[in-house]
Amino acid sequence: MASSDALPVVDLAPFLTGDEGGIARATEAVREACRTHGFFRAVNHGVPAELLVRALELSAAFFTLPDEEKVNVRPAAGYNTPLPAGYGQQPAHSTDKNEYLVAFDPKLGFNVCTRLSLLDSETVEECWGKLTEQGWLIQEILNECMGLPPGFLRDYNDDRAFDLMIARRYFLGPEGEEENNGFGAHEDAGCVTFILQDSVGGLEVLKDGHWVPAEPIDGSIVVNIGDFIQVLSNGKSKSATHRVVRKPAHRHSFAFFFNIHGDRWVEPLPEFTAKIGEAPRYRRFLYKEYQQLRVRNKSHPPARPEDVFRITHYAI
């Protein structure tokens, strides 16, 4: 792997201290990362390292519970969540070898479960608050990187009802290198995803045809640009393909999806099309429709990998 392939590390401290020169340099680093990798690792981001450790420990403790207890962790009757919530196992025929727990914003009340669990914890609430703040900050930085009018993304993507958090445990990888898929190659749909991971490793990002590992760095957060930004920028910012390979140890991660609301229409912006004389590379679509079709990929996995529903469906 060439050294320029390693995931960039972006120091966000200047945004906390207000150091203007540092802000300009960090913004430039994010702009470059969006173009080259669609991924970076944020350090000095303001989310306490102790909170990241606490969340991952809590998740590890949850997943060691017996299956009979975990399967009962689901929203109580009458709670209609925007997407399926609670504990889930991948269907037996799935090549994804992980189990997961989906949470919504604790303030929305969807996480009220049939059983007490990780979902009801103060740690999840604290993480939610901090990662939402992080989402607003990264979105502001993206707005600047993309040269959009001040506050444009903040106004466009101002409703947080579709944000969600998924805690995952990846099963042990088999001996040798064969069949070690933990989560198959995919892109994320929304605005930006944050990944907190333990020290096991296994997340990989596709860059120029080869897989680059997102090596764990203590206290860092992996930041991943989603399809929404790729479409708005007409392909200038990259929603990178990524996957998780299994290792000889259980791996725990949290993915926080700073999404966009399902009722929003999404299409390439004039700044990246008409205003610069370029043809749009995507058709206009309703975000909810895209999300629902992606959920179908999971509930009714297509027989042929090329039939998996992805953003290319809207490509012109």
Ligand X SMILES: O=C(O)CCC(=O)C(=O)O
The CB-nearest residue to ligand X is: 253
Tell me how far, at minimum, the Cβ of 296 lies from Fe ion, in Å: 17
CB atoms within 10 A of CB 94: 14
- From residue 9, how far is each of 44, 201, 217, 315 by CA, in Å? 10, 16, 10, 31
- Is 251 designated active site? yes
Q: Is 9 helix (H, G, I), strand (E, B) or coil?
A: strand
* Residues that bind ligand X in the complex, under the rule CB under 6 A: 166, 168, 183, 188, 195, 197, 203, 242, 244, 253, 255
**Which of Fe ion, ligand X, none does 183 bind, CB closer than 5 to 8 A by kind?**
ligand X
**Which of ligand X, Fe ion, none does 166 bind, CB closer than 5 to 8 A by kind?**
ligand X
**Which of ligand X, Fe ion, none does 237 bind, CB closer than 5 to 8 A by kind?**
none
Tell me how far, at minimum, the Cβ of 254 lies from ligand X, in Å: 8
Identity of the residue, 23 or 217, whose beta carbon is nearer to ligand X in the bound complex: 217
Q: What is the spatial order of strands in the sheet that 242-245 belongs to?
A: 181-186, 242-245, 203-207, 210-213
The CB-nearest residue to Fe ion is: 188
Tell me how far, at minimum, the Cβ of 256 lies from Fe ion, in Å: 11
Cβ 225 vs Cβ 239: under 8 Å: yes
Query: Where are any strands of DSSP class E within the chain?
Result: 9-11, 39-43, 86-89, 98-103, 164-170, 181-186, 192-197, 203-207, 210-213, 221-225, 242-245, 251-258, 265-266, 285-286
**Which of ligand X, Fe ion, none does 246 bind, CB closer than 5 to 8 A by kind?**
none
Tell me how far, at minimum, the Cβ of 244 lies from ligand X, in Å: 5
Class of residue 13 by CB neighbours under 10 A (exposed 0-12, middle 13-18, buried 19+): middle
What does DSSP say about strands 39-43 and 221-225: parallel, antiparallel, or unpaired? Answer: antiparallel
Identity of the residue, 42 or 269, whose beta carbon is nearer to ligand X in the bound complex: 42
| x-marked contacts with Fe ion along 174-213 as a string, rule CB under 5 A | --------------x-------------------------
Identity of the residue, 194 or 272, whose beta carbon is nearer to ligand X in the bound complex: 194
Q: Considering the candidates 41, 74, 168, 251, report the single residue annotated as catalytic.
A: 251
Identity of the residue, 33 or 148, whose beta carbon is nearer to ligand X in the bound complex: 33
Binding to Fe ion in span 227-256, by CB under 5 A: none
Q: Which amino acid is at 246?
A: R
Q: Is 298 helix (H, G, I), strand (E, B) or coil?
A: helix
Cβ 146 vs Cβ 157: under 8 Å: no
Tell me how far, at minimum, the Cβ of 124 lies from Fe ion, in Å: 19
Q: Supply the residues annotated as catalytic.
A: 251
- Binding footprint of Fe ion on the chain (CB under 5 A): 188
